[in-house]
Structure 1
Amino acid sequence: MKKKLLIWLLTGMMAVAAPATAFADNTDASLPLDEIQDQTDSQEPEEEEGLSEEELTEEEDLLLEEEEVQESEKEMLEESSAADAPDALSADGARDAVGDPGLTQLEGLDITYNSMTIRWKAADNADKYRVYKKIGNGSYKGIATVDAGVLSYKDTDVDFGGTYTYTVRAIKMEEDTEILGECQPGQKGVVNVEAPKVTVTANNSGTMTIGWNKVAGATGYRVFVKNGSGWKIILSATQGTSYTYSDVIPGQKYTFTVRPYRNIAGSNVWGYYDKTGVTATAKGTAPGLTELENLDITYNSMTISWKEAANADKYRIYRKTGNGSYKGIATVSKSARAYKDTSVQFAGTYTYTVRAIKMNGTKEVLGACQPGMKGVVNVEAPKVEVSCNSYSSMKISWNKVAGADGYRVFLRSGNSWGIIVSDIKTTSCNYNKVVAGRDYTFTVRPYRKADGKTVWGYYDKVGVTQTAAPAAPKVSSVKAVTGALEVSWNKVSGATGYYVYRREAGGSYKKIATVSETTYKDTEALVNTTYFYTVRAYMKVNSTIVEGDVQTGVSGIRKGAVQPALLTLRTDSTYLLYDVTGDGDPDKFRAEPYYGNSLNSYVNIYVDDKKVLTVSDEEESRITTLNYKIQLCTMNNSNNIYLAVTGSSENDSQSVAKLYQYTDGEFKEAANLREQFESNAVRWNRLGSVKIESVEGNQIQTFWNGQLGGTGAMSWRTTFVLKDGKLARNSNISPAVYEDGKENKWTALHSITIYKDALSGDIAFTLPAGEVVKIQRVYARTDINNVYVEVERSNGQKGWMKCPNGDNGYFEESIYVG
């Protein structure tokens, strides 16, 4: 068979783009607030000298230019030696008999500064592979043949900076004939320093460490951080393999890459790099956004204020003059919420913003900031007040504004302002063309003379609105009179009447009266309580009520009598310091008793020299009263006062025990204490008495002695409670009391029936003669004639014993049995 060299045409050779690109060194290198540069040294916050913005202008070589290979160009693979030019098969179908070698698919081209390594996938029916290389724009030439098990070839016959293209063809051997398979378009590259493998570590300190492997052939490295769509240089040159970057904000993501370079004859040739970069999130606690609140302007200063930012250790204030760039002008403490800038020029335009700073060791971590607040240095707006002199005149007044040479006063008319005073140097004026019931809106604009010109200042564009109405009355006095606080004020021209308002300290005003006079007596004012009063005038305009303003309230206090909760008043004595009528004011009080030879003694009660009560013992014919006791019971902080009157005989038996309360000019009975336990089972003719022990809040505690059937003399305590204006016992059950060494010990003389409950017929047990028990409580009601006592055995068993209406004792200890 005639040997022929089978030559395959390449159907199209496409250059593969190399993984290299140039950095745009003039990429914007700004912070998130793109105008701001930190211009202030933290040690000298007032210093305005700043860092200049870095201009990145260095041109870097684009080593890997994109080359487009025209598909119309077909290059012949030339054999470089006799070994590379075997006999070719004829086209008579011989290859079909042995099987074609498949297409060799290229995998990649690895580049270093002194080699290129082409990699491929295994092809079908391959006995070996031939590697082809093209230098620059030349032709392909076979440079090596390798066994079928080898899938890469490293070419060290290259020059640094040279451009080479590689492809591979599979070979099938038929005896001594090579059958060549198809090949892909070559992979092209420039011999250069390879891209480092970059790692990024976020440190707890708030910094980030960029690390990379040492690249063979590299003289040094440049480190970049992604800035928008471009890259910003953060380290121009280093021969190390790591760099710690500190200009980060915790919680934000940052992307870094590293580009090597090789110095050739004094010039840097830039190598490959990772175009995507490596991204990580910065650690640490970031300061929060600083929200701006206000920009206060005067003729010679601007004061920026802000809200507290989270995690702030301090704040930095930035200022922009005109259309310039922001510069840091001050650093203040974490407690500061405002900064006053006095280094301004009148009529100058300034913009301010603030950033919180969190300290990570000695490193400042800057928080985000809001768009700045802008203003022009000028005379500030006056604070205007409008009041009514009368229903036909208004007064416009304002504060004196620093830096102002004068003022102009305006009245709103529709959507525009009309001048009512063109130039005034004082701080108030009157407007006398108002109609009652109509609204009027005023504003005041200051001006300042500067360089011979009038510069108009700020003003309230909304204005202050006032309804034409009667003038505000002025309260002239609040004084205490008998049983009231009297409020007085001046007469207001045109007023139909007046509304009176009252409030307590810390409370709100409430209207308490509508009057036509200029005085009012507040009889509902409590004693020892401070009140504030103000008055509003009103007038009727046709069928409409037009109300005026009010002035600041005037205080007054109705001082009451100072007295204890329970006070004993001697008879035949005059008292001037105590309140006995309940109106809060001291009264003149006197009690005059009469003790006759008969059984009808009495006592007369006088208040302010007027007899208001007579108490006698004539209802109890068996007892002759020899002593009347008067007690003053003051409840609920002087709001309820009762007069207790008791009368006792020579053996301390009581003829009367009542509570009285002053109403409508006289004392009226509020409670008859004797009736609380009055029955055939409680006897008062011998050793029967009740006394007031204490008064606290709305309660009166009483102590009782009585003679019960079965037990004889007993003592107990009962509490009376004031509720809904009435006194009543708090319970039908009262605790027994043992005084003067008397022991709670009762020995049964005979068997006694004990019931489960008072008033019930259910028997609990029978107490045998000789058993010793305790009597703990007394049960009685005003609507029944029986009294029960609670018996407790030594084993804790309890029950109730009915006290008989007789004179027989049930216990050895019984005396004075009822």
Structure 2
Amino acid sequence: MRLIIDSFKKLIIFILIILITTFCLRDIALADFNLNVAPADFNSDTQINLNWTSVANAVYYSIARNDVHIANIDVNLDRNYLSFQDTGLIPQTSYSYTLTAVGPNGKAIKSANSTVSTLQMKAPSIVSSYLDINTNEVTLTWVNNSLAARGTIVNKLGGGQIAEVSGRNTSVSFVDPTLTYGVDSQYTIMSIDGNGHSSPSSAPVTIKPITPPVIDASIKSSTVTISWGQHDHIHEFRLERSKYLEDKKKWDSWEIINTKLTKNSTAITDRIDSDGTYRYRLSIDNEKYKGFSNISKPVARLLAPSNLQCVPVDSGRIDLSWNLPSKGNFALKIEKRIDSGSYYTIAVLDSNITTYSDTEGILPNKYYYYRITAYDENGNSASSPVYSIYTGPPSSASNLRLEITSTNKITLNWKDSSSNESGFRVERKVDTGNFVPIATLPANTTSYADNSVNSQSTYTYRVIPFNSAGDASSYTNEVSCTTSILKAPPGSLTVIPLSPTEIELSWRYAGSASYSTIIERRTEDSDTWEMITTLASGYTNYRDTDLLPNTQYFYRVRTNLANRVYSKPYPEKSEGIGAYTYLETPENLTSAWTASGFVKLSWKYESWVNRK
């Protein structure tokens, strides 16, 4: 019996030991389930980071914030199943979290609690600020450093709130009427969340207003001087120019023509190389200031009168005519020289006058020289080219040529060799008849179309200039033709540049036809066609050599019908077919590293003409 009682006591003691051990191990396991909560490092005002220790047999973790369930973290699905980021929170607010580890049967295994507060909103960072010097409008741009920002308040140090921006906008422009030239003003900004929370103020930004420069512009010859008073920030400004578009009747857009004004300078010059009216202004556009000076008064280059013509009307009178400059405030004076004497003014005219008759001492068989000068109140002047005129008979015209346009039309072309003719008389004879006048043409005429011809007759032409002193000493050369020899010009022309000094031409006649061909050429700055060669029948290409590099040439071709008799040109359009010769290419490019840290480039330039 005693043995049985001892065995029972031992069993009871063993069971108690097992229960105590199990209870202790459970407490140890519960103590190992830790929940850590803290504001995030970057978004500390809107984000709480949670992390915890692993619980054996847990299949997911349930998270509640302020007793409201917000997330389940699945051990088998989520990559980071021991942490959670709670975002979108309110700054400076306390939050209580409960984390529960849940087993496969859906029952809680363990739970833990913790409380933490978000921090104050982070201050925004101003990244740029500038002032419109014309309107005193301040523009600030910043970066919102808080995700809770739902507005921004702008404060002026010493002046309180000056502007407020709603939403997450990151720039604002406002006019500060209290700004004073040369006096610093400082501004700060702070973020607000709309729930009564705000960030600290940003670092202040300083703006110091400056006055816009006041400029003036004047012109002398073709040089414009733009001037202004002393200005401490003038080297930060740029010079801009605008041209008036006569055809569109408006000012063109502004173009920057100088970006490097000298510090402490008070003037700069601009050279105008072309016709037109211009205006100027200074502009500034940097990280501190934006704006413009006033716009200068318009200035125009004074141009010379053009196309001066002088005609001896009778033995004691010479008529002058000219074209006026297109713009400007000017007056005109007519200057005259006799033979080898000096120029003197014979008339002063208003700017709208385009003709004048000189009757002062005009004698026969003398040379008179005229020029028309435009001048203004600033001392600028510009004169036309001198026109010389002889009061004796004109010089003979030359180089008469005929163009058979159709069986009923012949066009005459000749060279005007005189400057004093009153007109030209065209004479014609039919077959073996006598020459009779068929047209009297005005001065400076160089062509005439005869539409009263047929293909059965032969026509011979000659031309003579005349004036009040009589006819020229001789007629032009005589040229004869019949329209029955009419042939079409080539039907195509190709113009291809080969080098800086060569252009190749090729052409084709219709069908299998092939005739003697005339090639004509003009340059880009001339309207006069020059006959450069006549090729025999059978030739369909030609290489034009000894040309200038990087120059545009125009070409056209004709059929050579007889001596000084041609077809109409191909193409008939006045500009012909053009092509540019090539640019000359520099050679032997070398490079060398210099001690100062630069790379020096050098090359050799040899004219293409010298290499031939």
Q: Same fold (TM over 0.5)?
A: no
So what's the TM-score if we normalise by structure 2?
0.29
So what's the TM-score if we normalise by structure 1?
0.24
| Greater length-normalized contact order (CA 8 Å, ≥ 6 residues apart) | 2
Which structure is higher in helix share?
A: 2
The structure whose Rg is larger is: 1
